[in-house]
Structure 1
Amino acid sequence: MASPETTSRAHKGSLMKKSDMQKRLFVLFAVWPCFIGYLLFNLYPNIVSVYYSLLEWNGISEAKFVGLFNFVSMFKDEYMWRALYHNLILIVTIPVLTVYISLILAYLLINKGYFEVKIYRILFFIPNILAAIVIALLWSFIYDGSYGMLNGILKVIGIDMKEYYWLGDERTALWALLPPLIWSGVGLYVVIFMNAMKSIPPSLYEAAVLEGANHTTRLFKITIPLLTPIIRVGILFLSLGVFKGFEFMLILTNGGPSGSTEVIGLYMFSMAFGSTSHNYGYASAIGMFLFVILIVVKLVTDRIGSKDSLEY
Structure 2
Amino acid sequence: MGVPEAVQAHTARKGSLMSKSNTQKRLFVLLAVWPCFLGYLLFNLYPNIVSVYYSFLEWNGISEPKFVGLDNFVYMFQDKYVWRALYHNLLLIVTVPFLTVYISLILSYLLTNKHYFEAKVYRVLFFVPNILAIVVIALLWAFIYDGSYGMLNALLKVIGIDMNEYYWLAEKSTALWALLPPMIWSGVGLYVIIFMNAMKTIPSSLYEAAILEGASHTTRLFKITIPLLSPIIRIGFLFLALGVFKGFEFMLILTNGGPSGATEVIGLYMFSMAFGSTSHNYGYASAIGMFLFVILIAVKWIIDRFGPKDNLEY
Query: Shorter-chain TM-score: what band?
Result: over 0.9
Residue of structure 1 equivalent to 2:127: 125
CA distance in 1, matches of 2:309, 2:107: 25
Match of 1:51 among 46, 50, 53: 53
- Assess if the C-alpha contact under 8 Å between 1:272 and 1:283 holds in 2: yes
How far, CA to CA, are the matches of 1:36 and 1:308 in structure 2?
34
State the partner residue of 1:218.
Answer: 220
Structure-2 residue corresponding to 1:229? 231
2:71 maps to 1:73: no
Q: Is the 8 A contact 1:228 1:309 kept in 2?
A: no
Counterpart selection for 1:92 from 91, 94, 107: 94
Correspondence for 1:17 among 13, 16, 19: 19
Match of 1:192 among 186, 191, 194: 194
2:94 counterpart SS class: helix
Name 2:43's counterpart in structure 1. 41
Cα distance in 1 for residues equivalent to 2:20 and 2:291: 49
Please name the residue that 1:177 is paired with.
179
SS in 2 for 1:258: coil
1:167 and 2:173 are equivalent in the alignment: no
Q: Distance in 2 between matches of 1:303 and 1:107?
A: 27
| Distance in 2, Cα, partners of 1:200 & 1:36 | 40
* TM norm structure 2: 0.98
Q: Give the counterpart letter for 1:198 in structure 2.
A: K
TM-score, scaled to structure 1:
0.99
Residue in structure 1 matched with residue 85 of structure 2 by the alignment: 83
The number of residue pairs the alignment matches comes to 312
Contact 1:97 1:182 in 2 (8 A): yes
Match of 1:3, SS state, is helix
1:309 is displaced (CA, Å) by: 2.4
Q: Structure 1, residues 75-101: CA drift from partner, whole Å, max 9, x if none?
A: 000001000000000000000000000
1:166, 1:172 within 8 Å by CA — same for their partners in 2? yes
1:27 aligns with 2:29: yes
Matching residue's letter, 1:262: E
The 8 Å contact of residues 234 and 308 in structure 2, kept in 1 or not, is answered as: no
Q: Aligned partners of 1:31 and 1:181: how far apart in 2?
A: 34
Query: How far, CA to CA, are the matches of 2:307 and 2:288 in structure 1?
Result: 31
Distance 1:306 1:268 in 2: 33
* Cross-structure match for 1:136: 138
Please point out which of 101, 106, 109 is paired with 2:108: 106
2:158 matched to which residue of 1? 156
1:304 CA displacement = 2.8
Moved over 4 A (4+): none
How far has the Cα of 1:308 moved from its partner? 4.1
Aligned residue identity for 1:74: M
C-alpha contact (below 8 Å) 1:226/1:309 kept by paired residues: no
Q: CA RMSD in A?
A: 0.8
Matched-pair contact (CA < 8 Å) for 2:168–2:178: yes
CA distance in 1, matches of 2:108, 2:139: 28
Q: 1:139, 1:180 within 8 Å by CA — same for their partners in 2? A: yes
Gaps of 5+ in 2: none
Q: Residue 117 of structure 1: CA displacement?
A: 1.1
Aligned equivalents of 2:38, 2:312: Cα separation in 1: 40
Unaligned residue ranges in structure 1 (runs of 5+): none
Pairwise CA distance, 1:306: 3.5
Alignment deviations for residues 115-146 of structure 1 (CA, whole Å, 9 cap, x no partner) = 11111111000101100000000000000000
Cα distance in 1 between the residues matched to 2:208 and 2:27? 53
Contact 1:57–1:64 under 8 Å retained in 2: yes
d(CA) in 1 for partners of 2:251, 2:60: 24
